[in-house]
Amino acid sequence: GQQVMQIPQYQHVQEGEDFTTYCNSSTTLSNIQWYKQRPGGHPVFLIQLVKSGEVKKQKRLTFQFGEAKKNSSLHITATQTTDVGTYFCAGRKEYGNKLVFGAGTILRVKS
Q: Is the dihedral of CA 19, 9, 34, 63 positive or negative?
A: positive
C-alpha to C-alpha distance for 49 and 92, rounded to whole angstroms: 11
Asked whether position 91 contacts other proteins by CB under 8 A, the answer is: no
C-alpha to C-alpha distance for 24 and 47, rounded to whole angstroms: 17
Asked whether position 55 contacts other proteins by CB under 8 A, the answer is: no
Shortest distance, position 90 Cβ to other proteins, whole Å: 8
Tell me which stretch binds other proteins (CB under 8 A): 14-22, 39-47, 53-61, 69-77.
Answer: 39-47
* Whether the Cβ atoms of residue 80 and residue 63 lie closer than 8 Å to each other: no
Tell me which stretch binds other proteins (CB under 8 A): 12-20, 41-49, 52-60, 63-71.
Answer: 41-49
Asked whether position 7 contacts other proteins by CB under 8 A, the answer is: no
* Whether the Cβ atoms of residue 64 and residue 82 lie closer than 8 Å to each other: no
Asked whether position 41 contacts other proteins by CB under 8 A, the answer is: yes
